[in-house]
Amino acid sequence: MKNSLLVFGTKNFNNSLNEIKEYLDFSLIFFNNNTLFNDKTFTVNALLIDSEFCDDTRNLKLINNINDKPALLIEKPGCPNKCNYTDKINFPIILSDLNSRIINLITSKKYNQNSSIIIKEYTINKNEKKLKKNKISILVTEREIQLIELLYNEKKPISKNNLLKKIWNYSEDADTHTVETHIYRLRKKIFIKFNDENFIINTKGGYSI
């Protein structure tokens, strides 16, 4: 199945794309009005933006309010960059370059989504092994990432014994100090850097986030 692009373009720009659409590695959905965003019959993987389209203040505001999609800007001479975008290429465009840029854009977005988890006001970057809040970050170990992920995904308190079984593969009669030690160290790091004592909560039912 082809990826779908939502195109924000002038009439001439859209007509040019229509002429080459059979050679594109993605399908096109042309923006026409705000009701399009309420249509659940299609999925948009990325945005394709004509810089001339952004000359209109209303169009610019509309595009800049879309924060969850990667965007490729086609920059035309005399049209300054006013909109938010992820990558850009200059007009006139080379077909092979357009195809490769879009594929790279979507692939990169999917990769980043799979490697990042948003928990409360924090983001875990699994590749960098960092827990971030705003512009502040701390390094976390692979085991700490597993621990945070499990506590977050369960959505309910988990006992020390269950944490041992699911993360460390220990039996129920194993020493639970392993869990307590890891959680103590993680809590301490978070408190020192973020002054947050409630990232991991301990109740009678166990640990939770």
Q: What is the pLDDT of residue 173?
A: 55
Of the three residues 69, 91, 115, the one that is the final residue of a domain is 115
Question: H or E stretch including 147?
Answer: helix 142-154
- For 186, other C-beta atoms within 10 Å of its C-beta total 20
Residues 184 and 81 in one domain: no
Residues 185 and 86 in one domain: no
pLDDT tens profile 71-86: 999 998 887 777 889 9
Cβ–Cβ < 8 Å for 98, 89: yes
Q: What is the pLDDT of residue 77?
A: 86
Of the three residues 115, 150, 167, the one that is the final residue of a domain is 115
* Residue 127's CATH number: 1.10.10.10
Rounded distance, CA 173 to CA 165, Å?
Answer: 10
Residues 8 and 110 in one domain: yes
Q: What is the pLDDT of residue 155?
A: 80
Q: What is the pLDDT of residue 29?
A: 92
Residues 15 and 89 in one domain: yes
User: 3-class DSSP state for residue 201?
Assistant: strand
Q: What is the pLDDT of residue 79?
A: 78
Of 56, 86, 62, the closest CA to residue 74 belongs to 86
Residues 141 and 61 in one domain: no
Residues 61 and 142 in one domain: no
Residues 35 and 80 in one domain: yes
Q: For CA atoms 22, 24, 26, 29, give the dihedral sign.
A: negative
Q: What is the 3-class SS of 100-168, one letter each residue?
A: HHHHHHHHHHHHHHHHEEEECCEEEECCCCEEEECCEEEECCHHHHHHHHHHHHHCCCECHHHHHHHHH
Q: What is the pLDDT of residue 175?
A: 65
User: Which pLDDT tens digits describe the chain residue by residue (209 residues)?
Assistant: 788 999 999 999 999 999 999 999 999 999 986 545 554 456 889 999 999 999 888 898 889 888 788 999 999 888 777 788 999 999 988 999 999 999 999 888 877 667 888 898 999 988 889 999 988 999 999 999 999 999 998 889 999 889 988 888 876 555 668 889 999 999 999 999 999 999 999 998 899 99
Cβ–Cβ < 8 Å for 130, 140: yes
| Contacting residues for 132 by C-beta, under 8 A, at least 6 apart | 122, 123, 124, 125
Rounded distance, CA 53 to CA 20, Å?
Answer: 20
Residues 91 and 192 in one domain: no
Q: What is the pTM of this model?
A: 0.57
Of the three residues 75, 91, 115, the one that is the final residue of a domain is 115
Residues 7 and 97 in one domain: yes
- Long-range pairs for 172-179: beta carbons < 8 A, 24 or more residues apart: 179/207
Residues 21 and 111 in one domain: yes
Residues 95 and 154 in one domain: no
Q: Which two tokens stand for residue 58?
A: 């209303």
The full DSSP string for 165-181 is IIII---TTS-THHHHH
Q: What is the pLDDT of residue 44?
A: 87
User: What total number of domains does the chain contain?
Assistant: 2
Rounded distance, CA 184 to CA 78, Å?
Answer: 58
Residues 8 and 111 in one domain: yes
* Residue 34's CATH number: 3.40.50.2300
Domain span at residue 129 reads 120-208
